[in-house]
Amino acid sequence: MGLIFCLEKTSRDTRARLGKLVTSHGEVSTPVFMPVGTQGTVKAVTPDELTDIGFRLILANMYHLYLRPGPEVIREAGGLHRFMNWPGSILTDSGGYQVFSLSPLRDIVEDGVTFRSHLDGSTHFLTPEKVVETQEALGADIIMPLDECVPYPCEREYVQAAAERTIRWAQRCREAKSREDQALFGIVQGGVYLDLRVKNAQDLVGVGFDGYAVGGLSVGEPAELMYQVLEETVPVLPKDQPRYLMGVGTPDHLIEGVLRGIDMFDCVFPTRVARNGTALTWQGKVVVRNAAFARDFAPLDSECRCYTCSNFSRAYLRHLFKAREILGPRLVTIHNLYFLFELMKKIREAIRMDCLESFRREFYRRYYGTENYPK
């Protein structure tokens, strides 16, 4: 097996846990946030800038890399790590979510899914076996099975059928898998129907995977429903294996996810808002173009020790965004990724010190300006 997970601690009062993921590309402390390198590059930054911040595990999208440059190019390059020159670990998403969110057409049958490329309209057919084969060509440390992601809201009957198909597809993925150095996770589906989630998680655990993802969340449902799903689903998952909440990455969702037993997260949130000029600070979001910053020569966040805050002022960053200079998105991306890395580090420290709930209270007060947070 290509993945070792060491559970180091479980909180006394919550489900939060500390752990280590070990792949052939190194060690990662959990809970961990994975930056998203959709097309084989975390947008606007180099691999070096990611390792300088502290990241050792990133996500890439099979769907995008399958369409461009294609798995054969990456296989010939010696795998995705070498292609993009990333020395750390990689998790590749299976494409289930992208087929659901990006393709102008999709047709799901038992054997697999037909979809149209969002790039050129060409038609493709993905099966569970093809998804494993493609991810074996890419060579990520952790790979995901083909799943069917349903929208919110969605009728119970359809959700149930999709969740059951997801199990059958996951089983086929497990059978198709041939590389020993890659770990395969299962993906729990079931929408916001708590009993379907529980059943789906049980069935998936019955098949047996190297880790378990909770998918199909953060697709428009109220946060409270997402938290409920986690509260019901996570206890079904094996304690000694990693749990991954897919597509989640705002600070509140990260904290709430950790409190509910999640070990891994990924989201485009920090990098996407950075390119639009929104910086995350310990005092909340900052809109870099804000006219108030025209002559503000302080850093984005006076507490932050990232490269951007160590070297550049709000006034300069505002100028870069007003002038549409590439350096603007670059510098705010570095800052936002650093912020989320630090947030996860503080979360891990708080778990270690058994004070995650007081950390949460303080964080919500400063970042969101509220004393209210989910029960």
Instruction: Point out which residues bind a copy of itself (CB under 8 A).
Output: 39-41, 43-47, 64, 68-69, 73, 76-78, 83-85, 294-295, 297, 311-313, 315-316, 318-320, 322-323, 325-327, 329-331
Task: Please tell me which residue in 203, 210, 266, 301 is annotated as part of the active site.
Answer: 266
CB of residue 60 to a copy of itself, shortest distance in Å: 12
Q: How many CB atoms lie within 10 A of CB 21?
A: 25
CA distances from 271 to 20, 106, 290 (A): 25, 28, 19
CB of residue 275 to a copy of itself, shortest distance in Å: 8
CB of residue 72 to a copy of itself, shortest distance in Å: 8
Give CB contacts under 8 A, 24+ apart, made by 228-234.
Answer: 228/192, 228/194, 229/190, 229/192, 229/194, 229/197, 230/256, 230/257, 230/260, 230/261, 230/262, 231/260, 232/194, 232/197, 232/198, 233/188, 233/190, 233/197, 233/198, 233/201, 234/15, 234/260, 234/261, 234/262
Dihedral sign from CA coordinates of 41, 44, 46, 48: negative
CB of residue 134 to a copy of itself, shortest distance in Å: 16
Distance, in Å, from the CA atom of 343 to the CA atom of 338, rounded to the nearest integer, reads 8
Distance, in Å, from the CA atom of 184 to the CA atom of 119, rounded to the nearest integer, reads 28
Beta bridge partners of 264: 32, 244
Cβ closer to a copy of itself: 46 or 114?
46
Cβ closer to a copy of itself: 47 or 277?
47
| Active-site annotation holds for 266 | yes
Task: Please tell me which residue in 93, 147, 210, 263 is annotated as part of the active site.
Answer: 93
CB of residue 183 to a copy of itself, shortest distance in Å: 25
| Active-site annotation holds for 93 | yes
The structure tokens 């089983």 sit at: 171
Maximum Cα–Cα distance across the chain: 61
Q: Report the chain's C-alpha Rg in angstroms.
A: 20
CB of residue 130 to a copy of itself, shortest distance in Å: 21
Which of 362, 366, 361, 269 has its CA nearest to residue 374? Answer: 361
Cβ closer to a copy of itself: 316 or 364?
316
Distance of CA 92 to the CA centre of its chain: 10
Cβ closer to a copy of itself: 311 or 358?
311
Distance, in Å, from the CA atom of 344 to the CA atom of 341, rounded to the nearest integer, reads 5
Cβ closer to a copy of itself: 124 or 322?
322
Q: DSSP letter for 14, please.
A: S
Cβ closer to a copy of itself: 41 or 114?
41
CB of residue 116 to a copy of itself, shortest distance in Å: 18
Structure tokens at 118: 């969002």
Cβ closer to a copy of itself: 38 or 228?
38
- The answer to whether 133 and 176 are in contact (CB under 8 A) is yes
**Active centre residues (catalytic):** 93, 266
